Structure 1
């Protein structure tokens, strides 16, 4: 039997009483299991008296086993009886004795009540970027850049050249420098120089936020200067990409860019919708959810640093020395809260729209995700495990809910378009009729003749 003690906001406290009869049943079950497992000298397996078995393993061990079994059975039953969805809980069991009732109290945070805004009236401004002829032309230009060739020249370095330089010093080595993309201080040092010249490059201090590169002087020697030759944009160039004409290549590029733009537009719409949904909802976010999300994000950061060969303790020390660790933690708190709010909003949307997944939808999402990560579905399932798979399903359901909501908004907008067009068409007619009415008005109000 569960009794509600406190229910305020997200905080709830309740007490559960397990009748003595069920306590005795649990004791008998535990001791019966131990009798079969524990070997007692002088007795055949399973034949030792109850008191001997208990003495053999200890009364505390038996009590703990019974208590754990009762908690596992009656805690979820209490949640169901009180109709509670719990985020985090502290269970406080009282002492347990055979033949007596067993009591335990629970202090917990409830899953919050979420009230979404009237999303059916939301206006989304995100759209696919327009693919203009200028964008297609620029993309063609980038394609020629990637297919450029370089030839050695005997002259000073000019814009667009590629230089092979050799860095002096113990850690030196040869590498190419492309002047059209080089940083300003490198370009300034190398322009106008000839092959064989020694050059001093002054590298300024660079602040990357979480670390700095001190200013330094680098000595290099120019080994070669190469002129860039761009291929001519014509049908022959198109044929290197298996197109008969340059126009066919342009059309293919425009189709590809349009497809990508549409995908970007849909993604931007989903992001905008989810953000507006989260910003407009009413909810008292449980602190335990934010704490859990923060710990998860911090764990990801530590893993990323470890892959780079950096210990988190070293990173923390550096950030503290720079006076930025407090800002790092503040940003982490803020991002954790934003993620939790968005997840709560989308979960409520899933519930409101009664979203579920068919087997085909789940399988299709698994196949797409596996291909994206260059693995097989079976390997993906092995990596996810049972809990990971449930999280994957939840993510797919949220995506489906957002897509369905946006489709609803688009249908509503399409219904409004004819009304707006009709209103626009009616407006000029009303404006044209207005002067006629004004012209007739003086006749009606003209003063009578003096005669």
Structure 2
């Protein structure tokens, strides 16, 4: 087989392949066997008719079609493998250019490839992070949350106020029509908690057991999403929460410590560690931004368009793919469809650009991923989805997503490698040592990096119900690629 590569652009190539017929004998054998099973020829059992008898009966063309259709994918992959500098990142567009029976077949394959990206020397990079400051309010908040776990609820004969727990019955109607899926009874809710229905907390404050109130709110899901509804709430009970005293007795009850001072000091250390994790995440994010800003990254149009399509699909999916409802939502956000499309394309281009840079970084640092690291990431993501590991593995295998997770781990390790090599300083110029959080480069360090929180600027909203089988094939889910890369 002969193959040549034409570079059409920094991100696209045409591979010209010519295969002599003597290399296609195994393909002809498979084709004759398959066709013989499908064609009934008197005097021969199914699958036993010789090749010359088959061709005499059905002609040469069906055999050639079968051979070409089956041989080209394998020969394309062989050509890609032999061209070591190529990394295809999309589906090829294949065109058969010649079928010279008995001599050769020829075809071309145009495909997007990962471009060459020149990155700066890692040890010359420097980023500045915010200083970690002790926050006693957070320590107190942590202590109060721990006390709340051991609190008790007691019924009261007074109007509800913020922090009380109420039992409520809810119903909703739009234009006088009751909405069955929005009705519930005996629902326990903490006043001021938020996240239930806009306006519910304002309605509940001041209500006593047995009272009922109606207010207007905009529904966010279901058939009447983004429509104003009349919400009726009835309070059946009001309870206040009593927290245990913060003393040595409580410390012994709630922890392994004997005194409140010991418990508080432990909480203070935990808050400090959390802030240092945020500092490490900030260093990682800012370093990645600097790498992207310093690199010229040609963008493969087909990959960008695939990212745009995925993001648009996810956005409209939240409205059951009802374009009219989606248009109404955009209007409520003072946004046109043209603005949405422009923002989506910009976000898609940024996502692809970040992935390209991380892949180039992983190549330059020769980052590899061990079985243990891959297993740890799979277990971590299974926990994030709330799925049993066995079920999660089955889904990602069926969806062909194992390679995506592999790439996520590889990108994570590459980025952590860059952070280790870079100079991290505070605004006053003092150096910041993050080695205890980032490890020293051993193959087991990736798990520690997994704990770093990630912020994703400019991303579209993630679909909460998205499963591994619904994410894209190139670099993770549409709303998580940069998150996963930084995790």
> In the TM superposition, what whole-angstrom CA distance separates every residue of 1:120-172 from its partner, at most 9, and x where no partner exists?
33333346854432321122233334544343444555565445555688757
* 2:407 is aligned with 1:406: no
> What's the offset of the Cα at 1:46?
7.3
Q: Which protein is richer in helix relative to its size?
A: 1
Larger Rg: 1
Q: What SS is found at the alignment partner of 2:249?
A: helix
Does structure 1 residue 261 correspond to structure 2 residue 264? no
Gapped regions of structure 2 (runs ≥ 5): 173-177, 432-487
Query: Could you tell me which residue of structure 2 aligns to residue 42 of structure 1?
Result: 43
CA separation of 1:152 and 1:61: change in aligned 2, threshold 3 A: same
Deviation at 1:407, TM superposition (A): 1.0
In structure 2, what is the equivalent of residue 394 of structure 1?
407
Counterpart position of 2:114: 111
Structure 2 residue matching 1:336: 3-state secondary structure: helix
Query: Residues 244 and 412 from structure 1, CA distance in 2 versus in 1: closer, same or farther, beyond 3 angstroms?
Result: closer
Cα RMSD (Å) of the superposition?
A: 4.1
1:12-411 to 2 correspondences below 5 Å: 12-19=13-20, 22=23, 25=25, 29=29, 33=33, 37=37, 40-43=41-44, 48-80=49-81, 83-88=85-90, 89-126=92-129, 129-155=132-158, 160-164=163-167, 171=183, 173-175=185-187, 178-181=190-193, 195-196=209-210, 198=211, 200-203=213-216, 211-214=225-228, 216=230, 218=232, 222-242=235-255, 243-297=257-311, 305=318, 311-312=320-321, 314=322, 316-322=323-329, 323=331, 324-366=336-378, 368-369=380-381, 379-385=391-397, 387-410=400-423
Count of equivalent residues: 405
Contact 2:146 2:254 in 1 (8 A): no
Could you tell me whether the CA contact under 8 Å between 1:35 and 1:48 is conserved in 2? Answer: no
Q: TM-score, normalised by structure 2?
A: 0.68
| Structure-2 change in CA distance of 1:327 and 1:318 (3 Å) | farther
The CA distance in 2 between the partners of 1:353 and 1:376, in whole Å, is 34
Q: Secondary structure at 2:417's aligned position in 1?
A: helix
Q: What CA distance in whole angstroms lies between the structure 2 residues aligned with 1:392 and 1:172?
A: 40
Deviates more, 1:261-270 or 1:344-353: 261-270
Deviations 1:347-368 (A, max 9, x none): 1001111112344444454555
